Amino acid sequence: MAETSFDKNADTVKVWDLPVRLFHWVLVAGFAAAYLTAEFHYGDIHTLIGYALCALVAARIYWGFFGTRYARFASFIFSPAETLAYMRSMFGKHPVKHYLGHNPAGALMVFTLLCVLAAIFATGLITLASIDFEGPLLVMADSIGDQTSYAIRELHESFVDVALALVALHLMGVVGGSVQHGENLVRAMITGKKRQEPQSTHTSREIMESNR
């Protein structure tokens, strides 16, 4: 059976570096602020937050190639077969395999969210240019008709709804993973430390070297 209690005495190792943790929580706050400013029609503030989020995601993509071990995308690219096997095991009778970094389901969520955020930013910038006549894509304004402009704005709002649904799924996965593995994943994203199970194939020396 899966472990269902948090073992405070279990060995922990540093997995999430400071840039990854900052990205995660600033993105949470920024996305919430962007959503609320759009809902309450604070257009100028919404635009500024959007620019900040674009820069934030760009920084995360850079860190995904040049950051520490578990920050790099290469550390959580899994085959479709492994991803499907992991997701099936989440609903099975046996505990799912423990990963120090992102598990296959979490990795799929990360890449999906990044793609959806990119779509939100692109449609938002096009809307800003074609309807409000401002922003870095203003050069495109004359080539986009009114009907297309408003269709893109609706697409922008639809992508936000998709992101909200993904956030809900992500929260469900965090709760499920915390229960199945007996570790507080929210706390791990605050402290950067996760529990290292005895069967882990990574030695302490490898982990220390990877986070330098």
For range 140-151, the mean pLDDT: 94
Give the integer Cα–Cα distance in Å for 197 and 12.
9
Residue 21 lies in a domain: yes
CATH of the domain at 162: 1.20.950.20
What is the pTM assigned to this prediction? 0.85
- 60-70 pLDDT, tens digit per residue, is 999 999 999 99
Decide if 7 is inside a domain: no
- For the segment 64-78, the average pLDDT, to the nearest whole number, is 97
Mean pLDDT of 168-194: 92
- Within a domain: 73: yes
Tally of domains within the chain: 1
Contacts 24+ apart (CB under 8 A), 134-141: 135/47
pLDDT at 124: 98
Task: State the average pLDDT over residues 125-147.
Answer: 95
